[in-house]
Amino acid sequence: MFSIGELSKRTGVKIPTIRYYEQMGLIDAPERSDGNQRRYTKDGFKQLSFIRHSRELGFSIEDIKGLLDLHGHPEKPCKNADIIAARNLNEVRSRIAKLRRLERELKRISACRADSVANCAVIESLADHNLCDADH
């Protein structure tokens, strides 16, 4: 049995996050000691490790709920997990594309070597962008 502090240290998940996952129903409510302290079993440790790894991979709370449900029902088709993973992969690819565009723009504007802010590409780019947004 693990206290919440021990579980936190072993998994690298902060105590408030563990409590949040309990409230969200992602991990089973732990047993309580006579002093009303949470006492987690090895299964609780495994659940939390599964969730932590899923979060590291960028899965949403809703996706993790779905994956945990599938994990608890090994007879269900793997296709359901594949769909969740493929959707997450598409989201990651979209974020990567946005980050690449951001990188190109920052590289372009950071090459400015103007003598004053009046001719600064960084300031001009940010100001022009705001004007473009106001047109929409």
Fold designation for 4-59: Multidrug-efflux Transporter Regulator; Chain: A; Domain 2 (1.10.1660)
What's the whole-number average pLDDT of the chain? 88
pTM flag (> 0.85)? no
Which helix (H) or strand (E) segment is 12 a member of? none
Residues 45-61: tens digit of each pLDDT: 999 999 999 999 999 99
Residues 24-82: tens digit of each pLDDT: 889 988 888 888 888 999 998 999 999 999 999 999 999 999 999 999 899 999 999 99
Residue ranges of domains in the chain: 4-59, 81-135
Six-digit token string for 82: 């594949």
